[in-house]
Structure 1
Amino acid sequence: MHSHVKIGLAALLGFGMGAAAMQGLRAQPHPPAYVISEIEVTDADAYLRDYVPLANRALAESGQRRLVSGGRTVALAGAPPASRIVVSVFDSLEKAQAAYTSPAYLEARRIGDRYGRLRIFAVEGLPQ
């Protein structure tokens, strides 16, 4: 085989392998994001009546999947947990940030801040 044919075949093969590798990288999903909310509720009746329905509505179309919502908690090490814990999962950190900075959620949060102290943070999970 002539050397210029070998070089052409090698270049074509290299291009094909590079294109396949790029497609594989693009196909990898973003790692999920977990949002942890620690809430020290100061007025349980008003919190459940005024804040929770608004927050649920604001987050309903965000892709949020709630994993924990106020269940029993136990301290294993360190300071005891807040009186209410909520854990949610989103498809990505960007989607979690968008949900919790949306105008609808920020309005709900203004109301929630009257009935409790909320600490909310997101952590990027491991790729699934």
Structure 2
Amino acid sequence: MKTAYTAALSMLAGIAVGAVAIEGLHAQSTPKAYVVSEIEVIDQGAQNAYLPKVTELIKSSGGTFLARGGNIFAVEGEAPKRVTIAVYDSFAKAQAARTSPEWKALAPERNKAIKVRSFITEGLPN
């Protein structure tokens, strides 16, 4: 009887380890997603009030900034005034963050502070 319990526990442990390994492999194969925003500040005071809120929202929804302002050089066409790039673990997470009720609630402040053109693009597979 003791052997049966040992075998059963070994099988359960094997299943658990296998499930964790598969989840890890799946996470590695999911391409990251990038949110690119071209920004023009139209009210600096409103922008100063908006920035901490949007920064916290992006971070709390799983986003990380890769670029935020800084130098911009136009290779073709006209360069935007300001650019931000945020990365998320997946396209679905980026899309969920940018269509969330919290994101929509910031729209009045965003519209007062900036003109923005944003899009999500999926990265290459890992």
Q: Unaligned stretches of 5+ in structure 1?
A: 1-21
Contact 1:38-1:118 at 8 Å conserved across structures: yes
Q: 1:110: Cα distance to partner?
A: 2.2
State the 4+ residue runs in structure 1 displaced beyond 3 angstroms: 25-28
Q: Distance in 2 between matches of 1:66 and 1:102?
A: 18
Task: Give yes or no for the alignment of 1:43 onto 2:40.
Answer: no
Contact 1:51-1:109 at 8 Å conserved across structures: no
- Cα RMSD over matched residues? 2.1
Aligned residues: 105
Q: 1:36: Cα distance to partner?
A: 0.2
Q: Unaligned stretches of 5+ in structure 2?
A: 1-21
Q: 1:47: Cα distance to partner?
A: 0.6
Q: Distance in 2 between matches of 1:104 and 1:27?
A: 26
Cα deviations by residue, 1:29-85 (Å, 9 ceiling, x for unpaired): 21111110111111123212x21111112222211110000111110111x222110
Between structure 1 and structure 2, the one with the greater Rg is 1
Give me the TM-score of the superposition, normalised by structure 1: 0.73
Contact 1:58-1:108 at 8 Å conserved across structures: no
Give me the TM-score of the superposition, normalised by structure 2: 0.74
Percent same amino acid at aligned positions?
A: 39
